A and B are shown apart, each in its own frame.
Chain A
């Protein structure tokens, strides 16, 4: 069952002294104060669709931003989610292209696309590191237009049959860029779920559909035979 009014809880890792901001679907922002353990609890603001949690920490030579998108239920807003996704949240950004729908979280063994931008401009040949809660790690480079496509690792150590019986894990994209001697680091974290191919068989589906086609052929033949018999009977009755 959807817990429509349940608060969303996040935990900041190594986020001491970070400033935390919540951006709502209408692009309004509000500062959030984590508790002593670094936990951030966000009560529903009554607005439907994607919200963004932004944690930022600045030192003299480094700016670090961690971003996580999440979905909430409520009344729809008139602001396009594209504006939320593309609005500047830090100098260096990893932008999901696009964000998965509510029922379509990032999935293991599926392609996920992102755009890397620095001060609004795409960053070509930028190295982005992907790490997952399940222990996978890989580095990918953006193309000339700053785009990145990754096949998410199918790395859940134990999978149970059915989405309901598998907990999502966390993936983290991390990239760093130095400009004028200042180091910018940005992280995007998101949940990803197990690949359904572990319990759903496409070849099985194809086989059953093929069987269905054979059955359709048989039904078609029987219906034609039946119709012919009815027509012959009617003709005979009319003749007699």
Chain B
């Protein structure tokens, strides 16, 4: 067979899962029912985005900020830290960890609605024929990498806790949500325009809302030409990186000397993890990895890179697959509006001649 059937194409399968997850997470209550979505969100707060009324969205960051700001901070201040303070926090982390053990970082690459939205933007950019920035240069990547940790430490943990302890204003109780582009994106997808606003309630709210709206705008444009712009600074990626050793999905590499001359895996990586190419270690699940599996798909050597569920291989690099996949990718990239327009113009010209 010369072409790769779609059900054997990992990227196509991933996109199907992403589409299903997007519909489920953004319009969750339509599927499970309004009250059921609310009840699930309440019982397991890591499954909820409190700003989206239609959803069973998965986001551990909002309960984490609220519990640090509303429960732990005040309890530390009052010296009353007890079981009732810790249990909600443990429930949140427990829910997160349960899903994390099952999915590992694949949440980012296969399920996250914002990740899917950014891939959709990339697809639009590619189909419009915009000049795409397939990968960033190493200097920029290195400068961007620590931002996700700063977002995690500062916006998700530090400021909410300081707010709960009474050191800073309450308006900094959930600063990450205030700038989160997913909050704006998912609510816009449900027809609710109320999350795109400039808030004049206080200078802090105004600054946060301007950052949030601005960030959303930046991603809207940057996503057309650059792969996964927000994922690179997302605190969820940092959160996942902390626990990556306990997840069941693994990305492993059997280094060969041929790897030194190749580097296709790093080029295929949407997060520009060049270490996949240079590493001689077995474990190549790096903190920035979203487990999209593109490195496995675009490795031309048999058995060099593999994605495994515990010990069971899900996808192993294979020269035959690579050949077909590469061909399919080239054909896919060739089909865009600009190319069609240029072809049409050259056809017209030849008719005139």
B136 x A227 contact (CB < 8 A):
yes
A213 x B205 contact (CB < 8 A):
no
Distance between A221 CB and nearest chain B CB, rounded to angstroms: 9
Give the residues in chain B near A209, CB-CB below 8 Å: 184, 196, 213-214, 216-217, 220
Dominant SS among interface residues on chain B: helix
Distance between A84 CB and nearest chain B CB, rounded to angstroms: 9
Q: Interface size for chain A: under 10, 10 to 19, 20 to 34, or 35 or more residues? A: 35 or more
B196 x A202 contact (CB < 8 A):
yes
B219 x A205 contact (CB < 8 A):
no
Q: Interface size for chain B: under 10, 10 to 19, 20 to 34, or 35 or more residues? A: 35 or more
Question: With an 8 A cutoff between CB atoms, is B334 at the interface?
Answer: no
Question: With an 8 A cutoff between CB atoms, is A224 at the interface?
Answer: yes
Residue of A nearest to B36 (CB): A80
The 0/1 profile, CB within 8 Å of B marked 1, for residues 133-148 of chain A is 0000000000000000
Distance between A142 CB and nearest chain B CB, rounded to angstroms: 21
- Chain A, range 196-213, C-beta contacts under 8 Å to B: 196, 199-202, 204-213
CB contact between A76 and one of B42, B50, B74, B222 (< 8 Å): that residue: B42
Question: With an 8 A cutoff between CB atoms, is B148 at the interface?
Answer: no
Question: With an 8 A cutoff between CB atoms, is B246 at the interface?
Answer: no
CB contact between A2 and one of B35, B70, B215 (< 8 Å): that residue: B70
A226 x B137 contact (CB < 8 A):
yes
Question: Given A212-B216, A220-B226, A76–B39 Cβ distance below 8 Å?
Answer: yes
Distance between B160 CB and nearest chain A CB, rounded to angstroms: 13
Question: With an 8 A cutoff between CB atoms, is B201 at the interface?
Answer: yes
A49–B37 CA distance with the chains assembled, in angstroms = 13
Question: With an 8 A cutoff between CB atoms, is B197 at the interface?
Answer: yes
Give the residues in chain B near A41, CB-CB below 8 Å: none
Distance between B37 CB and nearest chain A CB, rounded to angstroms: 9
Give the residues in chain B near A202, CB-CB below 8 Å: 193-194, 196-197
Give the residues in chain A near B70, CB-CB below 8 Å: 1-2
CB contact between A199 and one of B201, B210, B213 (< 8 Å): that residue: B201
Give the residues in chain A near B205, CB-CB below 8 Å: 162
The stretch that binds B, out of A13-21, A59-67, A98-106, A119-127, is A98-106
Question: Given A76-B39, A216-B217, A230-B137, A201–B198 Cβ distance below 8 Å?
Answer: yes
Distance between B269 CB and nearest chain A CB, rounded to angstroms: 16
Question: With an 8 A cutoff between CB atoms, is B343 at the interface?
Answer: no
Question: With an 8 A cutoff between CB atoms, is B182 at the interface?
Answer: no
CB contact between B222 and one of A103, A162, A220 (< 8 Å): that residue: A220
The 0/1 profile, CB within 8 Å of A marked 1, for residues 171-215 of chain B is 000000000000010000000011011111110010001100111
CB contact between B221 and one of A76, A98, A162, A216 (< 8 Å): that residue: A216
A199–B206 CA distance with the chains assembled, in angstroms = 10
A8–B70 CA distance with the chains assembled, in angstroms = 20
Give the residues in chain A near B222, CB-CB below 8 Å: 216, 219-220
Q: List 24 A-B contacts (CB under 8 A).
A: A1-B74, A76-B42, A102-B38, A103-B50, A162-B205, A196-B194, A200-B201, A202-B196, A205-B209, A206-B196, A210-B217, A212-B214, A212-B219, A215-B217, A215-B218, A216-B218, A216-B221, A219-B222, A220-B133, A220-B222, A220-B225, A220-B226, A227-B133, A227-B137
| Chain A residues close to B by CB (< 8 Å) | 1-2, 48-49, 76, 80-82, 85, 98-99, 101-104, 161-162, 164-165, 196, 199-202, 204-217, 219-220, 223-224, 226-227, 230
